[in-house]
Structure 1
Amino acid sequence: MIAIVAEPHAPYSSPPSTAPYVEVLVDCPGSDKLFTYRIPDDISLNPGDILSVPFGSQQVGAIAVRFLDTPPQELDATNIKPIDDVISPGFFPPSYWELLQRVADYYCTPLIQVIRIALPPGLLRRSQRRLRLNPDNIPSGAEQFLNPVARRVLELLQQSKSGSYTAAYVQQQIRGARRGIRDLVNRRWVDSYLEPPRVPKPKLQQAVTLLNANPAVYGELTPRQREVLRFLQRQGGELWLTDLMQLARTSRGVVSALERCGCVVVEEREILRREMGEAVNADAPKELTPAQNAALERILGFSGYAEALLHGVTGSGKTEVYLQAIAPILRSGKSALVLVPEIGLTPQLTDRFRARFGKRVCVYHSALSDGERFDTWRQMLTGEPQVVIGTRSAVFAPLPNLGLIVLDEEHDSSFKQDRPAPTYHARTVAKWRSQLVDCPVVFGSATPSLETWLDCRGEEKHYLSLPERVRSRPLPPIEIVDLRRELQRGNKSIFSLALQESLQNLSETGQQGILFIHRRGHSTFVSCRSCGYVLDCPHCDVSLAYHYTHEGATKLLRCHYCGYTRQHPPSCPECGSPYLKFFGSGTQRVMQELGRQFPNLKAIRFDSDTTRRKGAHRALLTRFAQGDAQLLVGTQMLTKGLDLPSVSVVGIVAADGLLNLSDYWAGERAFQTLTQVAGRAGRGDDPGRVVLQTYTPEHPVVLAVRRHCYEAFVEEELAQRQVLNYPPYGKLVLFRLSGLDAALVERTAMEMGEALLPEAGYELLGPVPAAVMRVSDRFRWQILLKFEGNVGIELQEAIDRLRQICPQTVKLSVDIDPLNFG
């Protein structure tokens, strides 16, 4: 292991001014040790600088870690390669580096993988091999002598307009392409070469600055030039060139003439690419309720590190508490970090923050372009007081002067990363970061996770309660509908009579509502009514879901695991029967039924299929807020903190898909989801109504949701967890194995199960096949370890033992504190 792993708490020291060598951590899969490079005389380095270095036959990204006066004894100084360039100056203060190292240690991940997710895309990129067609070297008709694979590679390159593709792309498109590529390269029909990595660069734009507005020079200018000069002076003496040309209705030639006269200077300046959102009106702080005010005073009273749970029922005004807590943080010259579980939440939350804090608010998430993420990341490094709003990965935002961290909807599973490694939870990392920078962290939720509830009820933590909605608005009544009785009454619609009544009222009154469905698409699966055949994915052990596009013109079957898509067949592939039936209901099916039963009710579909494009979340929610539709139909995205005061009705089409999942926290997740979606109703003047449809109305979760009784549910759930030693009382570690050879994966899993020792401080569960055994043609097995209390050295010993057993063709991954067991 590298020195930093051995001494994780040792801060960097300034590099010796004469140090000729540097040890770096390279961005290369499977490599977590330090490599030595020579520092050229014309390059100055600091610890944490991001570099480009030669590594084998490619250029790779690297991090400067340690400086040396002499090279290691085992290396010949004449063979040490020089670094190529500094891509970006370092930003790792000691506390930030310690955070990255702690994440690497706890989640059993090489440090470079943690660094990779902390940096914006593109800073650490390897050069890639490209293939370029050499048409002049290909004899006419010679293609017929190629082997089939080489012929397919050649045909693919010929289809490219540039005659060039990356080798990785060719290998993705053609199975076994390596042999064909080698044949074509040996014939010199194709060139293979390395393309250097493209590093994000600052965006430059030309600016015009007034130098001389002395009327004495006006005599030498044309009337048009004088007019442009006066316009620039009225604008404060400085404008972007494009803005000046547009606003003053002038040309580049006029500006160039002014530059030659010495009246202005035109120079390139950096312009930050940032997601600016829509224009918002300025907003003043709201008057707080007594409970809000008490919570705010507690938060403002924290002088350093503290953990607080802001437990407020839906609509209790948690966001206003965040806003008023952050205001003095900014005035003191510090920054705040606000994390949300879904990208779909960022537009609405960002608008509220920008209305209060203006341009000091920026967003950081994966839906931004690489350039926007690069510039936003660099803006954070300036140290200016700002508010960063982002999703899970924003917990690594390099804010050098943090004053407060907020996790809104902290219970949400989207804060946990399942893959790729590190399998971190943003809540855990936020706790560590607040400790290291000595600032408070606030977890907000109407349905806190059991871990946070138990933790923040302790003596050293802080529990802040908002038990009522603002303006004393009541929580919406929840009507439970037994779908079994609906069927007995002859109602075969997916909408119960009670929900139909509510939807009809929306159509007549013009009010708005939400319909929540557990899954997207049209139907869960398609089956033949003659022989029972189910249309499955050829690459995964799951059925294909039915989708339609262009108002039903194109009918598709799609796998929600690997993305495989095919046309819907006119008849059964097994027996030829035309009687294919759709089972289950997704968002598309609900939209279709709405159009049939309520043609006058305009609805907007809000799920991952309709929000793929950049800006789609904001566009759909804006349309709904402006009254373009009366109904918002969607999936889990609707449960995550949306504040829509005009919504008076919420319909939960089928709760049973949430109630009957086979993992230890299914009950907690179901309660959180149902409570959150029910809480979207009644946030305005109308008290609201919730209709919850289920086949199991007697289920404990359903009864707890109907009573809005969080504490009673939690106490019962915690009692069950404690008996079984499940989190938050015990710790879980999940080993996932996958490979193309089913027999090899199974045999490896069995050998690993025998190698693990139950007496070594953990309980062994498995090995067992994954719930979906095959995904993307890879067969999957799992082993679960259950620890009492914290995980110790036993885990690292178990990992080392398993990695020695695991063959190269079987992939082994480690998920610490897993939430997904599929």
Structure 2
Amino acid sequence: MPYFVDVILPLPLDKRFTYEVSEEEATFLYPGMRVAVPFGKSKIYTGIAANIHQRPPEVYEAKPIHQILDKEALITNNQLKFWQWISTYYMCAEGDVLRAALPGAFLLESEGVIQLKNKEHLSETELNDDEFLLVEALQGQSSLKIQEVMKLLDKKTVLPIINRLIEKEVLVLNQEIYEQYKPKKTRFVKLSENYRDEASMHELLDSLSRAPSQRDIILTYFSLTAKSNKPLKLKNLLKESKASPGTLKALIDKGILEEFYQEIDRVSFSGETTSKEIVFSKFQQKAFSEIKEHFAGNKVGLLHGITSSGKTEIYIQLIKEVLAAGKQALYLLPEIALTTQLIHRLQHYFGDKVLIYHSKYSVNERVEVYRKILYNPGSGQVIIGARSSIFLPFTNLGLVVVDEEHESSFKQYDPAPRYHARDAAVVLGSYFKANILLGSATPSLESYSNAQHHKYGLVELNRRFGDVLVPEIEIVDIKTKHKKKRMTGHFSDRLLEEIKRTLKEDEQVILFQNRRGFSPILECNTCGHSPQCPNCDVSLTYHANNNQLRCHYCGYHIAMQQKCMACHSTDISTKGFGTEQIETELKALFPDHKIARMDQDTTRGKYAFDKIIGAFEQQEIDILVGTQMVTKGLDFRHVNLVGIMNADNLLNFPDFRAHERSFQLMLQVAGRAGRTKKRGKVLIQSYNPNHQIIQQVSTGDYAAMYKEQLEERYNYKYPPYYRIIRFTLKSRDYSTNNTAADWLAKSLTNVFGEYVLGPEYPPVARIRNEYYKNILLKIPQQQSLEKTKEVANKILLSFKSIGAFRSIRVVVNVDPV
């Protein structure tokens, strides 16, 4: 009786594929192991074995697998269960989840490798120039990858050339699999066995008296090895002895020193753990006890603690208890910028037990973290990471903390799976019966509503740590200031006065503007034309530092225009302002002070966040200008003033969450002020100072905002009262996209009636030359979510079978943010 294995392939397929295995392979294989399998005519992919059985597939003949790639499972059973849940809930393929969950180095894919077949029977007259060049190159080396052939011939289309040579039986093409992960090896040195005893050591030093630099290296070696038992790195010996590599090589050639290689971790902590006991205030102690009570009743906890109330200390204490029980703790953060500061704090408590996982890490670094979590779970670990860390191979998870749980960055936008890390973390925690705590100063309406309906346990912490007063919030009416000519650039006289006072007292300032670049619109004052992106329906943003007009959607850029592109008038001006323009104005207003900017343009490198945050903490920067990166839970001791440059562009956004999000952003950025002894100050500049959200921010009244927004959501049928699924249709063909959107909307309306909205163009209806159209499906509470998705999937299946819509991509987004 033959054996079969169901394999999850890293492709957007609706189901698993079945392959044949021998009896020996079937006894060796376990679910979660990687297998290389043939798929299609000649491709080989790495898939994950899901289950082994003896039922042959009905529709097709099972191919045999290519090879087994692991000795033990790389994916745990809980991960497989979790992947299945994500794929069902977020309406995507399991292969999409596999791609998102595993570091790329684990997903080996075949690459074409060509080799010479017949060296003898070659007639050069039969070959054209490109073919001759390729054959000549192959005579010098045994094989070439397809990518190498492209470089060699300086062409993108090399397959026709290779095919011709295969037909002439000159070449063979092998599909080979390459292991991408390479362990990091470092060179170490040690003293040869012959010179270990004292007598031979003295003899050695005497013999080197005529080679002083070699003698210095040996003396340095002795002093360094006396201080530490660890193997000595070759580069450290060179650095300390200040000798040349040639001198060291001479000692190795003489057999006095021996060099050897060792694998080392890319991700390691070399500092000291300086953990102090955490002393809670009475408010923190009360909140901590309440959280423990909710955990005892198996409830998810929601900690609603105002900014600077000491939520992190509570998390650290909970993590301590989990580690003491030998379990793992997952600490989720919305932004990589945040991890930088928090890592240092946690490493002081937990040292090398802290593991970090996010997208700025290289593939090899991610593989190392993955392996550590899988193979050393007993050591008790704290994993800090952005949303993708929910896919790590936990085996013993005891606690999940989701900090700043209201953040929209927890939602994955592209590619699929479009999961929300907060909601997925709650499901993940339930598999391990782990405690789950969501924390925020401004919880999302959905989470707070769950707490009000006793699904979550609510814990309030409304006093700042050390009884520091919450910052004083003042609203500046810039409409009136403009009329009275009291504005300098984009700064009101009031804001400038406060900045001067703060700098005079040696305190720091944070200024928030939710737009990067210099100016979002360049406009001709004669004809009104503003340069648009040729690929997207947006105007180009002016960036002063490289004098370019850039599109923030597709990256298209052109040089700054000196005259209008339409009427050639030279009377052009910029409208609106971004972080770059504020930085430029500040440098002119405060030439003696250090000003820095934190946005997507200045934080491109791996350590860019660390550098800016480190410099600001060390008070090397006086004023920090930033986008919403500066609003997240960063903790700066010397910030006494926060300025929100323009609150209105947050509020006037075509989205049902715009007001909730504005409230959260403004209150979060206000919370960066006055976190030690002195009361901080926050200035909000607005053209509409009487707007209810701005008024609620000024009094920090979360309850009023929650009540008001909830009422609106109820009236207009939005979450938390209704679930939402958004279908986005994308195509390069405008009219086909419209026809397809109408067809899909009509089919959905036939089943769901009034709960289907659209099709409608989004605010930016064309990106990278693709046209977009949205359809919204609302699901009332009493309607089954599973059945709704089943019906929607059937309609999508019919949609895909229509030949005319073959070119249309449908993106399904469950619970869009």
Q: Output the TM-score relative to the length of structure 1.
A: 0.85
- The answer as to whether partners of 1:526 and 1:583 remain within 8 angstroms in 2 is yes
Q: Secondary structure, in 3 states, of the residue corresponding to 1:63?
A: strand
Q: CA 1:626–1:507 in structure 2 vs 1: closer, same or farther (change >3 Å)?
A: same
Structure 1, residues 81-137: CA drift from partner, whole Å, max 9, x if none?
Answer: 3433415742433333222211111011111211221212221142345899xxx99
Corresponding residue number in structure 2 for 1:567: 559
Corresponding residue number in structure 2 for 1:468: 463
- The answer as to whether partners of 2:13 and 2:94 remain within 8 angstroms in 1 is no
What amino acid is aligned across from residue 34 of structure 2 in structure 1?
I
For 1:345-360, list aligned pairs within 5 A.
345-360=338-353
Question: Structure 1 stretch 294-303 or stretch 188-197: which is displaced more?
Answer: 188-197
Question: Structure 1 stretch 629-638 or stretch 491-500: which is displaced more?
Answer: 491-500
Q: Secondary structure, in 3 states, of the residue corresponding to 2:547?
A: strand
- The answer as to whether partners of 1:761 and 1:788 remain within 8 angstroms in 2 is no
- Give the superposition deviation at 1:473: 0.7
Q: CA 1:591–1:85 in structure 2 vs 1: closer, same or farther (change >3 Å)?
A: same
Corresponding residue number in structure 1 for 2:183: 202
Question: Structure 1 stretch 351-360 or stretch 181-190: which is displaced more?
Answer: 181-190
Distance 1:259 1:66 in 2: 56
Corresponding residue number in structure 2 for 1:3: none
For 1:555-634, list aligned pairs within 5 A.
555-634=547-626
Structure 1, residues 173-195: CA drift from partner, whole Å, max 9, x if none?
Answer: 99xx76x9647965999998856
Distance 2:89 2:699 in 1: 39
- Give the superposition deviation at 1:760: 3.3
The structure 1 residue matched to 2:538, chosen from 537, 542, 547, is 542
Matched, 1:127 2:97: no
The structure 2 residue matched to 1:67, chosen from 47, 52, 60, is 52
- The answer as to whether partners of 2:642 and 2:669 remain within 8 angstroms in 1 is yes
- The answer as to whether partners of 1:737 and 1:781 remain within 8 angstroms in 2 is yes
- Give the superposition deviation at 1:66: 2.0
Corresponding residue number in structure 2 for 1:720: 712
Matched, 1:309 2:302: yes
Structure 1, residues 610-655: CA drift from partner, whole Å, max 9, x if none?
Answer: 0011110010011111111210100010111010120000000001
Q: CA 1:256–1:291 in structure 2 vs 1: closer, same or farther (change >3 Å)?
A: farther
- The answer as to whether partners of 1:362 and 1:376 remain within 8 angstroms in 2 is yes
Q: CA 1:275–1:229 in structure 2 vs 1: closer, same or farther (change >3 Å)?
A: closer
- The answer as to whether partners of 1:21 and 1:67 remain within 8 angstroms in 2 is yes
Q: CA 1:560–1:764 in structure 2 vs 1: closer, same or farther (change >3 Å)?
A: same
Q: CA 1:805–1:327 in structure 2 vs 1: closer, same or farther (change >3 Å)?
A: same
Corresponding residue number in structure 2 for 1:517: 513
Structure 1, residues 667-697: CA drift from partner, whole Å, max 9, x if none?
Answer: 1001000000011111022211111001111
Corresponding residue number in structure 2 for 1:413: 408
Q: Secondary structure, in 3 states, of the residue corresponding to 1:122?
A: helix
- The answer as to whether partners of 2:636 and 2:672 remain within 8 angstroms in 1 is yes
Matched, 1:695 2:687: yes
The structure 1 residue matched to 2:43, chosen from 58, 62, 65, is 58
What amino acid is aligned across from residue 200 of structure 1 in structure 2?
Y
Distance 1:529 1:137 in 2: 70
For 1:261-272, list aligned pairs within 5 A.
269-272=262-265
- Give the superposition deviation at 1:509: 2.8
Corresponding residue number in structure 1 for 2:419: 424
Matched, 1:774 2:758: no
For 1:163-562, list aligned pairs within 5 A.
166=147, 182=160, 186=164, 196-205=177-186, 223=204, 234=226, 238-242=230-234, 245-246=237-238, 251=248, 269-274=262-267, 276=269, 279=271, 282-301=274-293, 302-303=295-296, 305-381=298-374, 382-383=376-377, 384-492=379-487, 493-549=489-545, 554-562=546-554
- Give the superposition deviation at 1:755: 1.1
Corresponding residue number in structure 2 for 1:156: none
Q: Secondary structure, in 3 states, of the residue corresponding to 1:363?
A: strand
What amino acid is aligned across from residue 373 of structure 1 in structure 2?
R
- Give the superposition deviation at 1:592: 1.1
Q: Secondary structure, in 3 states, of the residue corresponding to 2:49?
A: strand
Q: CA 1:238–1:275 in structure 2 vs 1: closer, same or farther (change >3 Å)?
A: closer
- Give the superposition deviation at 1:438: 0.3
Corresponding residue number in structure 2 for 1:158: none
- Give the superposition deviation at 1:421: 1.0
The structure 2 residue matched to 1:800, chosen from 786, 794, 802, is 794
Structure 1, residues 400-456: CA drift from partner, whole Å, max 9, x if none?
Answer: 111110001000000011221111101111110111100111001000001111112
- The answer as to whether partners of 2:335 and 2:386 remain within 8 angstroms in 1 is yes
Corresponding residue number in structure 1 for 2:133: none
Structure 1, residues 712-737: CA drift from partner, whole Å, max 9, x if none?
Answer: 11111112212222111110000010
Q: CA 1:184–1:309 in structure 2 vs 1: closer, same or farther (change >3 Å)?
A: same
- The answer as to whether partners of 1:299 and 1:325 remain within 8 angstroms in 2 is no
Distance 2:759 2:29 in 1: 49
- The answer as to whether partners of 1:499 and 1:651 remain within 8 angstroms in 2 is yes
Q: Secondary structure, in 3 states, of the residue corresponding to 1:200?
A: coil
Q: Secondary structure, in 3 states, of the residue corresponding to 2:315?
A: helix
- Give the superposition deviation at 1:501: 0.6
- The answer as to whether partners of 1:513 and 1:649 remain within 8 angstroms in 2 is yes
Q: CA 1:733–1:215 in structure 2 vs 1: closer, same or farther (change >3 Å)?
A: closer
Structure 1, residues 125-159: CA drift from partner, whole Å, max 9, x if none?
Answer: 42345899xxx9999xx99xx9xxxxxxxxxxxxx
Q: CA 1:528–1:373 in structure 2 vs 1: closer, same or farther (change >3 Å)?
A: same
- Give the superposition deviation at 1:304: 7.7
- The answer as to whether partners of 1:434 and 1:440 remain within 8 angstroms in 2 is yes
For 1:728-807, list aligned pairs within 5 A.
728-757=720-749, 759-760=751-752, 763-789=755-781, 791-806=785-800, 807=805
Distance 1:504 1:217 in 2: 68
- The answer as to whether partners of 2:195 and 2:256 remain within 8 angstroms in 1 is no
Distance 2:240 2:528 in 1: 72
Corresponding residue number in structure 1 for 2:67: 84
Q: Secondary structure, in 3 states, of the residue corresponding to 1:771?
A: coil
Corresponding residue number in structure 1 for 2:667: 675
Q: Secondary structure, in 3 states, of the residue corresponding to 2:106?
A: coil
- The answer as to whether partners of 2:536 and 2:766 remain within 8 angstroms in 1 is yes
Distance 1:589 1:571 in 2: 21
Corresponding residue number in structure 1 for 2:807: 809
- The answer as to whether partners of 2:548 and 2:559 remain within 8 angstroms in 1 is yes
- Give the superposition deviation at 1:247: 8.3
Calculate percent identity across the aligned residue pairs. 33
Q: CA 1:220–1:547 in structure 2 vs 1: closer, same or farther (change >3 Å)?
A: closer
What amino acid is aligned across from residue 414 of structure 2 in structure 1?
R
For 1:140-179, list aligned pairs within 5 A.
166=147
- Give the superposition deviation at 1:701: 0.5
For structure 1, list consecutive stretches of 5 or more residues without a partner in the other structure. 1-17, 147-161
- Give the superposition deviation at 1:399: 2.1
Question: Structure 1 stretch 112-121 or stretch 308-317: which is displaced more?
Answer: 112-121
Distance 1:230 1:274 in 2: 29
Distance 1:186 1:459 in 2: 70
Distance 1:793 1:463 in 2: 31
Q: CA 1:129–1:657 in structure 2 vs 1: closer, same or farther (change >3 Å)?
A: farther
Matched, 1:648 2:640: yes
Distance 1:694 1:346 in 2: 32
- Give the superposition deviation at 1:212: 7.8
Q: CA 1:414–1:169 in structure 2 vs 1: closer, same or farther (change >3 Å)?
A: farther
Q: CA 1:521–1:163 in structure 2 vs 1: closer, same or farther (change >3 Å)?
A: farther
Q: CA 1:779–1:509 in structure 2 vs 1: closer, same or farther (change >3 Å)?
A: same
What amino acid is aligned across from residue 739 of structure 1 in structure 2?
S
Give me the CA root mean square deviation. 3.7
